[in-house]
């Protein structure tokens, strides 16, 4: 499979069910869907930190987000991210599979914050799911690659109650 962003060959990570471009760091999950995003007609000045195309406005579970229509990534605030994860994990019905271990190479990528253009911190999500996310503490935002929210939602572990 070739990268839709730069055309380079993508490497398949079987334990993560996704393709990764070692050239431009794009990610394509084999199960990446829209994650239930309802598009909104609003101008967004920010660009995708992976594809460098303009992000689109949307609503996910009643929470406003920005998303990339090409790579299916999602940008949201830390607080909104926590609300989305809490709601999705509480509503999830089905088997919660054991999460695959993180590939250390996932921690090496560099992406820029769509808001301030500084390098985002790439680190494991400190909840269930063994997902690597990107955050910008200065702007208070979280970037999720396509399909990562689903991995967090389905992951085994405690479900937050409010």
| DSSP string across 83-120 | HHHHHHHHH--S--PPPPPPPGGGGG---B-TTT-SBP
Which residues partner with 143 through β-bridges?
A: 75, 134
Please give the pLDDT value at position 162.
47
Which tokens in the block code for residue 35?
């994650």
Q: 37-39 and 132-136 as β-strands: parallel, antiparallel, unpaired?
A: unpaired
Question: What is the per-residue pLDDT across 135-162, written as a single tens digit (0 to 9) for each?
Answer: 999 999 999 998 888 888 888 775 544 4
Over the stretch 12-39, which tens digit does the pLDDT of each residue have?
776 566 677 888 877 765 544 457 787 8
CA neighbor of 152 nearest in space, from 130, 129, 132? 129
């Amino acid at each position: 499979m070739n990268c839709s962003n730069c055309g380079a060959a993508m490497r398949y990570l079987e334990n993560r069910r996704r393709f990764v471009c070692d050239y431009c760091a794009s990610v394509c999950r084999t199960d990446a869907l829209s994650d239930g995003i309802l598009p909104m007609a609003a101008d967004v000045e920010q660009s995708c930190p992976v594809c460098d195309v303009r992000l689109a406005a949307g609503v996910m579970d009643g929470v406003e987000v920005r998303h990339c229509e090409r790579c299916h990534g999602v940008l949201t605030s830390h607080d909104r991210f926590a609300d989305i994860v809490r709601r999705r994990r509480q509503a999830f019905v089905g088997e919660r599979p054991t999460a695959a271990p993180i590939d250390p190479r996932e921690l090496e990528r560099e992406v820029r914050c769509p808001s301030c253009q500084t390098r985002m911190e790439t680190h494991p999500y400190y909840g269930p799911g063994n997902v690597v996310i990107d955050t910008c503490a200065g702007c208070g935002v979280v970037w999720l690659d396509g399909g990562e929210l689903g991995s967090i939602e389905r992951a085994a572990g405690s479900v937050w109650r409010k």
